[in-house]
Every structure is written in C-alpha cells, then in structure tokens.
C-alpha cells in the first residue's frame, strides 16, 4: 500500500511538470568549499539503469543556478564543467559537458509524435547551462540506459564571499523527466568529501510508463567537416553560425540501432531575423540504410546554444549632457552583426556623483585630515568603490599632509556599472581643526554656509598683524570716548621733535 501511495504521489508530482516541471529533492550532504580555492567541489550524480529497467532517461542538459545569502551571484563568479557517461544497448558512452553562461537564449526543437515545435529558454546571468559537447542524443521509448553518471566540477572565484550558497541543478531530457522520484544519498559511510561528492539517484517505484519524445540534438562543430560518419548518432551543430559551402551529412542507421530505430529526420534551418525557421528536408531512408542530404545551411532538431549568434562589430560611448559632472547620462551604442542582419542596441547609464567632506582632525606638526565621501551617490545603482588620489580606498579615510602646503585631493568613485566620476578639492595651507564646509571644488560648486568651525592658531606673522589691528582699534575707541585728544597729542609730539 505504501508503494502505491508513493506511486500516486510521484504521478501527481510529475503531472505538474506539464507547465513548469520541477521536483524538489533533498540534498543529504552540505558540502563546503573555500573561497579563493577553485575546483574543490565535485558534484556527482549517479544513476543505475537496472533500477528503472527499460525506461529511457537521457540527461542531456543540466541547468545550474546559484544564489548567495549576501545577494544574487553573477555567473561571472562561478563556473562548471563535467562529464556525462552512461551505458546504452550494451555500449558505453561518455561525453564532456560544456557549460554556457547566461544571459543567453537557448533554443531547442521538440518532437511529440509527429508534431515538431521549437522552444527557447533564456539562461539567466546567474545560471549555467551544461550540455554534452559534440553529441546528438538519439534515445527513444524502448531504449534504456543501463548505468549513468554525471560528474560536475563546480568552482567559484574569490569574489564569492564566505557564507551560504544555494546551488540548484535542473535536469532536462528529451525523454521527459525520468519516471522515478530520485532519492539522493551520500556515499556509503555517510560522509561526503569534496573530491568524492557522490550522490546516488534511485528510483522510488518501478512499473510506470513514460511518454517518450523522440530524438534529439544536432551538431556540426567548427570547422565544418566535408564528410562525417555518424556512428554514434551524436553530433553538434551550433546553429545560426555563418556557414558556407556544402556539407554532406551521412547517417548509417545500422550502426546506431540495428533493429527498430526510426528514420533520421534532417532539418534545414533558414535564419529569419536571427531566428531559425525549421524546414523538414528529408526523412526517407535509402535502400541500403544510408540517408544522404546535401545542405548549405544545416540543422537537425535538438537543443543547442546560440552563443556564437552575434558578433559585436562596433561599440561607441557618448556622453550626452557633456559637462563632466555627476548625473550625466552616458549612452553606449553597440552595433551587432547577426548572421543575416545587423542590429543596434543602446544602453543608457547615468554617471555617479563624487563628493566628499574634509575634516581636519589634529593640529600640530602634521595636518591630519579625515575625508568622508558619504555624500557621493549614483542615481541608477550603487557606488562600488572609492579611490583617493593619495592611494587610499574606502568611503572614509584618513591621511596626513605637510603643513603650509597646498594639496589637491581627488576622489574617484566607480558605480556598479563601471562608470566613474571624479571631484578634486584643494586643502587649505593653514592649520585648523574641525569641519570645513566652505571648500570650493573643481566643479565650481561651493557650500552656501561657508562656515569653518574650530581653532585658528595661525603663524607668527599673523599674530603681529592682529596685535597691530588691536592697537589701532584701541586708539580709535579712546579718541571716540574723548579720553584722548588727537590735536593735543599732535602738538605735544611736534614740540618734542622741535
């Protein structure tokens, strides 16, 4: 009864895949890896064919998605490569997995009975799509995999900070999702080493049927071969690649499946505005079991990537508002050549604004100054770095300067899109302590308050001047109050001189 309930649960679960198939599985082991060391985590999925008998499971694609507890991770900072190996019809096959980083549009052609349709999916910028390299998958309903394994070497760059990182692996198959609910287990002693990260997939229940979608992917790699024999039935073509000349594609069905394999179907991909327009050009088998087709542009149906779809032929950056100050819009125009057309993409980025305050912290033999760049901002993102002309980095920094020397200090901020802005201020030569808010920067902007708070110590010559002013002021007060008569003073002085 428990098996029946489990089967029912699995069936209901799989039914949900028709819209957006997913099943959440438990990862038994939480592996760890060290930031700054690469290639540490080897993730291995292993499945045993005899556990699901004659059910086809063709794991042709693996979508790897990563999130970090400190925020989304870009696939600039992680990578994966691996190997897919399995047995089929008594033979062993092994293929390298090639991972494509998004953002990238991935297209596939799907067969349901005699109906063919294309599908596409965008690989996001925090995802990798790993597909067998140089392969054309040709499984069908009554073939089965005896044993199989996917080993994925996952590595991160040191940009990935310590913390918890969530990795999601999504399996894809032309044969649909495997007709079992995989249970993941650690290796036998219950611990998983980084170099031996074994995960076993076991079938929960047997005896269910699966609707199989035919075969498969395609391929011809660069350089395009003049003639190639498809003994394994796997090959890769990167579609939308600009191909010229004629290619002879030859299939020997007998070496693929000697009994009841369906005839191969060849499709031509006519590229219209960057998209494939599929055309069935042959599904007939020659009398000797050899199908031949001669193509200019060629494709079979299947999953492929379009990473060579575009070539950037021109990139121009233009400052629109042109005053060099913050808030300026920078427009980058990218002219891209696709296979059959050229498109121009425009990206607008607003420059950040660099700004900083100066605080003189200690008077004396050195001029210690604290710089605070908290007022810097970026209207369409965030500021990623603060660089000071005296070599320091950071939003708030301290630096000592010689007294009685004018020093220019430049702050350069860089935003999350890599756009920079700079501002320069001149430090005053006097020795002060406190907040200076009346400094004029190189943009001509000046703080309205013009207040300088703190001690003024001054030099010796400054003090003499002040004393002279005080003496004159005292004399004027005495004259004004009548305590001193200037005329009498003048006469007395004149008499003394005479």
Partner 1 sequence: MHRKSAVLVAGLILAAGMGSAGVLESFGIISGTVDVEGPTFYAADGKVLQLDVPEGDEKVDYLGVGPKPGDVEYFSTRDLGGKEWYDLEAEMYVEVKAQSGVENASLNLQFNYRDSSGDWNGCGKWVNFETQDSYHTVSVSCDLDVPGDVEKFQYVIEARDDLGIQATGGTRVEVNAQ
CB of 246 to partner 1, least distance (A): 30
Cα–Cα distance between 101 and 123 in angstroms, integer? 7
In the numeric block, which tokens belong to residue 36?
A: 């700054």
394 binds partner 1 (CB under 8 A): yes
Q: Which is nearer to partner 1, 144 or 174 (CB)?
A: 174
- What whole-number distance in Å separates Cα of residue 379 and Cα of residue 349? 9
Nearer to partner 1, 289 or 394 (CB): 394
Q: Which residue in 128, 130, 154 sits closest to 39, CA to CA?
A: 154
Q: Which of 42, 84, 106, 276 binds partner 1 (CB under 8 A)?
A: 106
- By CB under 8 A, residue 138 contacts partner 1: no
Which residue in 12, 365, 467, 497 binds partner 1 (CB under 8 A)?
A: 12
Q: Which is nearer to partner 1, 10 or 427 (by Cβ)? A: 10
Q: Based on the shown chain and the rule CB under 8 A, indicate whether residue 359 belongs to the binding site for partner 1.
A: no
Footprint (CB under 8 A) of partner 1, residues 360-389: 384-387
- Nearest-approach distance from CB 341 to partner 1, in angstroms: 26
Dist CA 279 CA 421 (whole Å): 53
Among 15, 231, 382, 485, binds partner 1 (CB under 8 A): 15
Q: For residues 18-47, which are near partner 1 according to CB under 8 A?
A: 18-25, 27, 29-37, 41, 45
Residues numbered 142 to 201 that lie near partner 1 (CB under 8 A) are 156-174, 176-179, 182, 184, 199
Query: CA–CA separation, 285 vs 10, rounded Å?
Result: 40
Stretch that binds partner 1, among 14-22, 82-90, 256-264, 359-367 (CB under 8 A): 14-22
CA angle 168, 55, 95 (to 5 degrees): 55
Query: Least CB distance from residue 159 to partner 1, whole Å?
Result: 4
Where does residue 51 fall: left (phi above 0), alpha (psi -120 to 50 degrees), or beta otherwise?
Answer: alpha
Tokens 């057309």 found at: 341
Cα 483 to Cα 476: distance, rounded to the nearest angstrom: 10
Give the span between the Cα atoms of 487 and 498, in whole angstroms.
16
Size of the site for partner 1 (CB under 8 A): 84
User: 110: exposed, middle or buried (C-beta count within 10 Å: 0-12, 13-18, 19+)?
Assistant: middle
Closest of 306, 274, 270, 335 to residue 122, by C-alpha: 306
Query: Is the CB of 176 or the CB of 291 nearer to partner 1?
Result: 176
Name the DSSP class of 375: T
Q: Which of residues 233-292 bind partner 1 (CB under 8 A)?
A: none
Does 210 help bind partner 1 (rule: CB under 8 A)?
Answer: yes
Contacts to partner 1 from residues 291-310, by CB under 8 A? 303
């Amino acid at each position: 009864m428990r098996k029946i309930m489990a089967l029912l649960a699995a069936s209901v679960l799989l039914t949900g895949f028709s819209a957006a198939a997913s099943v959440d599985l438990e990862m038994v082991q939480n592996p760890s890896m060290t930031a700054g060391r690469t290639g540490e985590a080897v993730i291995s999925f292993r499945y045993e064919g005899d556990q699901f008998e004659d059910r086809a499971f063709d794991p042709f694609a693996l979508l790897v998605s990563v999130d970090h507890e400190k925020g989304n991770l870009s696939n600039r900072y992680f990578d994966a490569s691996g190997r897919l190996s399995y047995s089929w019809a008594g033979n062993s096959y092994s293929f390298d997995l090639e991972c494509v980083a998004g953002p990238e549009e991935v297209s596939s052609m799907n067969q349901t009975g005699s109906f063919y349709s294309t599908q596409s999916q965008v690989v996001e910028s925090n995802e990798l799509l790993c597909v067998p390299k140089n392969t054309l998958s040709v499984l069908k309903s009554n073939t089965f995999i005896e044993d199989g394994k996917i080993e994925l070497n996952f590595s991160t760059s040191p940009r990935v900070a310590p913390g918890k990182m969530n990795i999601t692996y999504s399996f894809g198959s032309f044969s649909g999702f495997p007709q079992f609910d995989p249970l993941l287990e650690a290796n036998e002693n219950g611990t998983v080493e980084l170099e031996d990260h074994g995960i076993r997939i076991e079938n929960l229940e047997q005896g269910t049927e699966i609707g199989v979608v035919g075969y498969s992917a395609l391929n011809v790699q660069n350089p395009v071969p003049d003639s190639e024999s498809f003994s394994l039935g796997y090959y890769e073509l990167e579609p939308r690649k600009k191909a010229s000349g004629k290619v002879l594609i030859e299939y020997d069905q007998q070496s693929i499946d000697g009994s009841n394999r369906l005839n191969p179907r060849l499709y031509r991909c006519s590229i219209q505005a960057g998209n494939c327009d599929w055309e069935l050009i042959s599904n007939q088998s020659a009398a000797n079991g050899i199908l031949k087709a001669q193509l200019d542009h060629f494709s079979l149906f299947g999953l492929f990537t379009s990473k060579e779809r575009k070539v950037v032929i021109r990139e121009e950056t233009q400052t629109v508002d042109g005053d060099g100050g913050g808030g300026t819009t920078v427009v980058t125009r990218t002219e891209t050549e696709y296979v059959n057309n050229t498109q121009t993409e425009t990206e607008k980025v607003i420059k950040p604004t660099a700004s900083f305050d100066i605080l003189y912290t200690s008077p004396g033999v050195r001029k210690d100054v604290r710089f605070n760049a908290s007022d810097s901002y970026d209207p369409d993102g965030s500021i990623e770095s603060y660089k000071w002309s005296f070599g320091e980095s950071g939003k708030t920094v301290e630096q000592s300067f010689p007294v009685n020397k004018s020093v220019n200090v430049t702050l350069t901020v860089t935003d999350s899109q890599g756009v920079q802005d700079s501002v320069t201020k001149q430090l005053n030569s006097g020795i002060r302590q406190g907040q200076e808010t009346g400094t004029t920067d190189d943009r001509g902007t000046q703080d309205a308050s013009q207040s300088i708070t703190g001690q003024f110590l001054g030099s010796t010559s400054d003090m003499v001047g002040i004393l002279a002013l005080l003496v004159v002021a005292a004399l004027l007060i005495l004259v004004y109050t009548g305590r001193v008569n200037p005329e009498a003073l003048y006469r007395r002085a004149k008499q003394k001189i005479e």
